[in-house]
Structure 1
Amino acid sequence: MTEGKPYTNHDDQKNRGETKLQPNTTIIGVGSNAYLPNGWFMIRKVDNVIIRNIKVTNPCDLEPEWDSNDGPGNYNSEWDGLTVDGATHVWIDHMSFTDAPLTDDKLPLGKKDKNGVAKRVQCHDGALDVKNASDYVTVSNTVFEKHDKNDLIGQSDSNTSDEGHQTISFVGNLFRDIGQRAPRVRFGMVHAANNYYVGSKSDPTYPHLYSIGTGLRSKIISDNNVFEITGAAACSCTAVVKNPNTDNPEGNFKDTGSIVNGTTLTGCTAPTAVGWSLPSGYPYPKLATSQVKAAVLANAGTGKI
């Protein structure tokens, strides 16, 4: 993306780092090594877009900003690996998103928070975010790995215009060493099916906090997902599904057939009245839970189409 000339500052990175897609556009990476390093895709206010078979290194903001009101204090950065913003009919398939090689443990220490803890200068934002009443978005057969705040569905609790929109499917994806937001949902009608989640509560760089975030007025249907999280109690729904912001009521979540560390997911706290159902004729693989891990490992990511 830099065309051999490194970004000089935040504004230069903003001007040169973005690939903005037009409507009725398909981008397919050739072979197994198609690669977008330190740039990002923007799908904004367009219809009918497909992106397949490209590895994205999540961009690193050259000038993260310190926010003393973010919890006890933290760094915030701009730009996701891919953003869907007010767009419709989008298919994201056989992609890979990762922080590597610049993983969070390699970032320098910066300012201290209100508790006196020096925080790393976090240059990464999201991997893939969907916002502003986007509709009919499918994320399939994609690898997300080595990232903290991964997939955000709905950018703000105050953005109530998302109600009735954010219709999104996550099917057959691998979430490996992801800290949180896989995905984190506000308002959206989200279907998560046949995904494989693997990580550890004690990972030194990307400790698992939760996988699916049941944020404000979320309406999530979950089918046959497999969670293998070291340090999570077997069958514990609350170890992998939680409301990230307890200042607001928890959204709705209905699960069928998912397992945590080999045992049926139980004990969810979210209400199950999601208020919608999968449309008639809506196609997806519908794998048995016992088949999900092997199928995802065999099919997800670049070089497999």
Structure 2
Amino acid sequence: MNRKILAASCLAASLIAGCSAVSTDNTSQKLSNTGKNSMSQDMTRPVLPHNDGWAAAEGQVTGGSDALDAHIYTVSSRKAFVDALKEAGNSPKIIRISGTINLSSNDQGRELTEADYRVAPYNFEDYKNAYAPAVWNIQPLIKKRPNRDLTGPQEEARLASAKKQKDQIVIDVPSNTSILGLGKNAKIIKGTLQISAGVENVIIRNIAFEDAFDYFPGWDPGDSFKIDPNYPGCMGEYVNANQGPQKCPGGRWNSEYDLISINGGKRVWIDHSTFSDGDRPDSMFPPVYPFPQNEITQKVQHHDGLVDITNQADLVTISNSYFHDHDKAFLIGNSDGKTADTGYLRVTLHGNYFKNVGQRMPRVRYGKVHVYNNYFVGNAQGDGVGANAYERHVDSLINKPKHNIVRQVLGAGKESAIYSEANVFEIENGNPSHAIGNMKGKVAYDQGSMFNGKMIDIVEGANKASGKPLSKDVGWTPTLYGPTPVLPASEVIDYVKENAGAGKL
């Protein structure tokens, strides 16, 4: 294979200017043997600044900064990316992303779509019809809900199809890895980077992540199901086509695949990156069932989270990143019953920009989470008005909002301890309970934040607005702030807009 080695000056400037050393076959190119320190330490061998958030609690996160030249790669295809990760293993490695890497592509670079992953006899229309509430919900309820354990050839084929897709698009990242975007246009799309249990010391910077699209979302007929007599014909037992559980509200489409999944990993730094659904937002896929299964939340969901931190993951800092045009941003802790997460899930979020995101920024269980100097912009309008759920549902169908409806920014879940500091919330049609919501939590703390142009304590404001009070005694005080002091809320907007996101290093 012929390889073109660019000048050393290009290598030193590559992360800033986008110049890269790329092999002529457009896969990967190891750096020439010019010495470990031939690239500038600050841009091409970055390390987490001292004391920069929870990720630094057990020492500096270095990622692949100690990589030998043999383990420094520039890649521009899925195959080259996967090969580099495999070749280096757990040795320190720097993988530089040039252009766009499509994780849903084969070794020849052809994009793989639903037709490539589909296992017969799966077909969306047949699946939709098989589990339609008018068909499935007429069975006897189980614990006051429709049977959530779908059976039959369509569900079996959907699961097989989903596994085939997952095996292709979910990429495991090993320990001691730096994944760095070159220039202003580096992207990883249509898949998931997974940092699993046993993996630690990972740095991800300067990359736009987009569209981890699930071609095979599943219908859960019992999700949010409720026997609500305000809905005409809604009752617990089937009588006829107009009376029975099929006339009750509830059921949701659920999808897999986060853009980044920190699934048990630890000591992770994500910085100056961008996360979105790309050009296929879920707003393109409206509900497919008739009333009462046509609330906006019952759209056919093809995207899960942006970054999820689960299963005893720990010591994570996410900084200077841009999250936009998505519903559920990320979970920290994925189950109320997962008491083993106690003592883990310590995360810092600072300098991030959230725009047109609906909820989970983040939603926290068990973790100690420090959230400071972030900027949240959204609109809470859209659920309709009325005296009961039925009237609100009917009203919401009149003017369907095009934005993601802000449910809550910070979600205080079970045994969580969120410490909010000098954040800025601009939530149109919202109140402080949209800034922080009580989701079976007991405590949360805030100081120095701004809500819709006014300096307020969002916890105290939410307690008054929601009637679900949170104590401010979180039991801990942050000490890990890194080299930059906390900005006052009045300076956050300008700072975040200037710095947050890929291409701004």
TM normalised by structure 2 equals 0.57
1:210 pairs with 390, 408, 417, which one?
408
Say if 2:211 and 2:279, in contact at 8 Å, map to a contact too: no
What's 1:242 paired with?
Answer: 437
The gaps in structure 1 that reach 5 residues or longer are: none
Identify the match of residue 279 of structure 2 among 93, 101, 126. Answer: 101
In 2, distance between residues paired with 1:195 and 1:281? 14
Q: Does 1:194 align with 2:373?
A: yes
Q: How many residues align?
A: 297
Over the aligned positions, Cα root-mean-square deviation in angstroms equals 1.6
Counterpart residue number, 1:293: 493
Is 2:251 the partner of 1:73?
yes
Kept in 1: contact 2:435–2:462 (CA 8 A)? no
Paired with 1:232 and 1:296, the residues of 2 have a C-alpha distance of 22
Contact 2:220–2:252 under 8 Å retained in 1: yes
Q: Give yes or no for the alignment of 1:62 onto 2:240.
A: no
Higher fraction of strand: 1
Q: Where does the alignment leave 5 or more consecutive residues of structure 2 unmatched?
A: 1-102, 118-161, 225-249, 382-400, 464-469
Deviation string 1:104-126 (CA, Å, 9 cap, x unpaired) is: 2211532357x342632111111
Task: Return the structure number with greater relative CO, CA threshold 8 A, min gap 6.
Answer: 1
Partners in 2 of 1:191 and 1:162 — Cα distance?
17
1:131 and 1:257 mapped to 2: Cα distance?
29
2:375, 2:211 → 1: CA distance? 21
- Residue aligned with 2:462, SS: coil
Q: Quick one: which of 96, 106, 112 aligns to 1:6?
A: 112
* Letter of the 2:263 counterpart: D
CA offset digits 1:215-243 (Å, max 9, x no partner): 1111011110000111124xxx2131102
In 2, the alpha carbon distance for the partners of 1:156 and 1:17 equals 25
The answer on whether the counterparts of 1:58 and 1:80 sit within 8 Å (CA) in structure 2 is no
Q: Superposition pairs for residues 1-305 of structure 1, below 5 Å?
A: 1=103, 2=105, 3-7=109-113, 8-9=116-117, 10-45=162-197, 46-71=199-224, 72-112=250-290, 115-117=292-294, 119-202=298-381, 203-233=401-431, 237-244=432-439, 248=440, 250-266=441-457, 267-269=461-463, 270-279=470-479, 283-305=483-505
2:232 aligned partner: none
Deviation at 1:161, TM superposition (A): 0.9
Q: Secondary structure at the match of 2:471?
A: coil
Aligned with 2:222: secondary structure? coil
- The amino acid of 1:50's aligned partner reads I
Distance 2:335 2:353 in 1: 26
Contact 1:104 1:205 in 2 (8 A): no
- Report the Cα offset of residue 204 of structure 1: 2.1
Equivalents in 2 of 1:116, 1:104: separation in Å?
Answer: 17
Distance 1:239 1:265, change over 3 A: farther
Q: Write the letter of the residue equivalent to 2:273.
A: M
Partner deviation per Cα, 1:43-101 (whole Å, 9 max, x = no partner): 11201000011111131101000001111100000110101011111000011110121
TM-score, structure 1 normalization: 0.93
CA contact (8 A) 2:379 2:403 kept: no
Deviation at 1:132, TM superposition (A): 1.2
The 10-residue stretch of structure 1 (283-292 or 205-214) with the greater mean CA deviation from structure 2: 283-292
Q: 2:472 is aligned with what amino acid?
A: T
CA contact (8 A) 2:276 2:306 kept: yes
User: Is contact 1:171–1:284 with CA below 8 Å preserved after alignment?
Assistant: no
Q: Contact 1:193–1:222 at 8 Å: present in 2 too?
A: yes
Higher helix share: 2
Cα deviation for residue 265 of structure 1 reads 2.5
**CA deviation profile, 1:122-150 (whole Å, cap 9, x unmatched):** 11111100011111100000100011111
1:142–1:260 Cα change, 3 Å: same
SS in 2 for 1:110: coil
- C-alpha distance in 1, partners of 2:420/2:341? 20
Corresponding residue SS for 1:296: helix
Tell me the distance in 2 between the aligned counterparts of 1:154 and 1:251: 16
In 2, distance between residues paired with 1:281 and 1:194?
11
Question: Is contact 2:203–2:268 with CA below 8 Å preserved after alignment?
Answer: yes
Moved over 4 A (4+): 280-284
Contact residue 193 and residue 223 of structure 1 kept, 8 A? yes
